[in-house]
Amino acid sequence: MSDRFLSAAASIRRAASQAGREGRFGRGVRREVVAWRDHLAAAPAAGGLGLAPTTVNTHVASLSGFTTWVLAHEPAALPHGNPCAKAGDLPLPALEPRALAPAQVRTLKNLLDRLPRFYRHKGRRGAAGGELHGHARPLCDRAIVHVLLSTGLRREELACSARWRRM
């Protein structure tokens, strides 16, 4: 596998010397990296691929990792350093908090009111008196959902605190 990378580094060096621009090779490659990054992000109508900014940044990071490896093994191949270093990442859109809408919260609470009915035996078993399944815990489930809704805890955080109480 390293033979492939060494041959890639040698081909980069050969391309620089054949182009006759050994001194400007790093700057030219940097321009090409920025143009490639912009092509990845451009809309398909404009001739680009229309990739998401996160995907484009991942592609540039992969190329940067490769050129860092080339610099470590063949420093002469890229005399001006890593061409991806100053290419910069595309700005990412601001993260929007994901929360339930008030109507969804009402629906969930209405469902919790009907929860004991879902835990009752059905069919011939249910005709005997409508007792709950052995694993039924409607009050506990209702309390868990109300804690999650009122505090903003994540499911994993609540599960972790429940494990600590059992120990």
Q: Does 51 map to a domain?
A: yes
* Domain limit, last residue, from 77, 94, 121: 77
**List of residues 6+ apart from 105 with CB closer than 8 A:** 149
The whole domain housing 36 covers: 2-77
The per-residue pLDDT for range 66-94, each reduced to its tens digit, is 888 888 888 877 777 888 888 888 898 88
**Cβ–Cβ under 8 Å, residues 42 and 48:** yes
The per-residue pLDDT for range 93-117, each reduced to its tens digit, is 888 888 888 999 899 888 888 777 7
Count CA atoms closer than 13 A to 122's CA, side-chain side. 4
Tokens standing for residue 43: 């809309």
* Domain limit, last residue, from 22, 42, 77: 77
Place of tokens 């492939």: 4
Q: Does 91 map to a domain?
A: no
* Domain limit, last residue, from 13, 44, 77: 77
Distance CA 154, CA 77 (A): 49
Q: Same domain for 108 and 71?
A: no
Place of tokens 């054949």: 18
State the pLDDT at residue 6. 61
Distance CA 87, CA 35 (A): 9
The per-residue pLDDT for range 12-21, each reduced to its tens digit, is 666 556 554 4
